[in-house]
Amino acid sequence: MAKVLMKGNEAIGEAAIRAGCVHFFGYPITPQSEVPEYLSKRLPEVGGKYVQAESEVAASNMIYGSAGVGIRVLTTSSSPGISLMAEGLSYIAACSLPVVVVNIMRAGPGLGGILPAQGDYLQAVKGTGHGDFQLVVLAPASVQEAVNLVILAFELAEKYLTPVMVIGDGMIGQMMEPVEFPIEGVGPPLDPGDWALNGARGRDKRIINSLHLDPEYCNKINMDLKAKYDRIKKNEQRWELYNCEKPYDLLVCAFGMMSRICKTAIDELAQAGYRVGLFRPISVWPFPYATCKQAMQKAKRVLVLEMNMGQMVEDIQLAGQGTREIDFFGTAGGKVFSPDESKEKMLYSLKQAGAGKSRAGVSQPSSKSEGKPKKKKAAKTAGPAKKRKAR
């Protein structure tokens, strides 16, 4: 299929359609409004339904209902809107229903601003809503990867019957890049399995409910969820290592768009003879702790760069378990580090580590791998597990 030029938000909408998503409920908020706008045009073309909800709270309950009756569904929002959806997501997780949520993050806290940020990391990976539940959270670093991860998000949601979130900063929603879709046409409908409320004629009735007054039973629900999350932790870690095949002095940890700016900086530093590697978690939950630790062990020092005030740092600390010094620089409010600023931070950390230019002479920058995560393990890279046939 020929490549097309798409805005991230449009591409996210189209990816959902290719994955067979036929319902969208949501509410406009900058910088993700092009997703509902695009889907309001496209969903009717494929026999789907688009409803602009009266609020994000309502939208989160509408996706709960849609998933409950076994119809593949998407909602998208931006930071303040996601906070409003938190209640619904807790119910959906409690009832083990497959939904996909996209958060195109803007500057916060509060209303913040419309510019890009990564300030909802902790909200997404540690504490979206009340109770013991967990979202699977994927963080793309290009428009193409956003497409691949939205398609993957539906697969994971249905494989594990759990809500999956894709987080990107406002840039990924607003920027244009050439993309191609791994699926032609519209994917097949959701398998209603043995849980969807799709008509009880000829079978026992099913109930979807999250109110469990019996402590024994409510505990069992929690234990079942934990078992599921343990399986996800075991099977679904994804990451990218960049410039890590050769020895390096400094390991930079960054996710999403920030990692892309870091790559430019790392390439330029490599040309100047500095040895810097990059670890980028693609699944920020489950966080690839083991790989991160291995990558950290090979470096003298670690630098975390984020478009927030250091929300991922504690995951890096957990991975490193105190074995490496960790520097952090963050930016928020919509301000994005430039490659030069990133280089400056990297040079600071290199200096702290006592690492200078490589004695072996100028090392070549790693090949550009934007949009194509290095296939460390074939089964664990981004992208759909298999191309699905069009319906």
Partner 1 sequence: MKGRVSIVKRTKPKNIELFPSDRLIVVVGNYGSGKTEVSVNLAIALTAKRFSVSIADLDIVNPYFRCREARILMEKHDIRVVVPPAALTWADLPIIVPEIKGMLNPKESQVNLFDVGGDEVGARLLSSFADTLGDSPYALWQVINSRRPFTDTVEGCLKMKAGIESTSRMKVTGLVVNSHLMQETTPEVILEGYHLARRVSELSGVPTRFITAMDDLADAPELLEVEVPILRLKRYMLPPWIRPDNEEDETDETPAGRTVPIGRPQGAK
Q: Which residues bind partner 1 (CB under 8 A)?
A: 2-7, 10, 14, 30-31, 34, 41, 113-116, 170-171, 174-178, 260-261, 263-264, 333-340
3-state SS, residue 18 = helix
Cβ 305 to partner 1 shortest distance, Å: 12
Contact 136, 155 (CB under 8 A): no
Distance between CA atoms of residues 54 and 56, nearest Å: 7
CB of 257 to partner 1, least distance (A): 8
Quote the least distance from Cβ 177 to partner 1, whole Å.
7
Q: Where are the beta strands (DSSP E) in 203-292?
A: 239-242, 250-253, 276-281, 283-285
Q: Closer to partner 1 by CB, 176 or 290: give it.
A: 176
Nearer to partner 1, 77 or 174 (CB): 174
CB nearer partner 1, residue 180 or residue 314: 180
Residues 6+ apart with CB under 8 A from 191: 70, 158
Q: Which is nearer to partner 1, 30 or 381 (CB)?
A: 30
- Measured from the CB atom, the residue of 64 and 337 that comes closer to partner 1 is 337
Please report how close the Cβ of residue 368 comes to partner 1 at its closest, in angstroms. Answer: 11
C-alpha 181 chain-centroid distance: 18
Contact present, 342 and 109 (Cβ < 8 Å):
no
Handedness of CA 346, 142, 364, 284 (dihedral sign): positive
Least distance (Å) between residue 283 CB and partner 1: 22
From residue 282, alpha-carbon distances to 147, 153, 198, 285, 357 in Å are 13, 12, 35, 9, 30
Beta carbon of residue 175, minimum distance to partner 1 (angstroms, whole number): 6
Packing angle between helix 143-160 and helix 8-18, nearest 10 degrees? 40
- State in angstroms the smallest separation of the CB of 170 from partner 1: 7
374 secondary structure, DSSP code: -
* CB 258, min distance to partner 1, A: 10
Task: Give the residue with the Cβ less far from partner 1, 170 or 384.
Answer: 170
The dihedral of CA 251, 252, 256, 259: what is its sign? negative
Decide whether 195 or 329 has the Cβ nearer to partner 1: 329
Q: Is 113 left (phi over 0), alpha (psi -120 to 50) or beta?
A: beta
Q: Which is nearer to partner 1, 90 or 118 (CB)?
A: 118
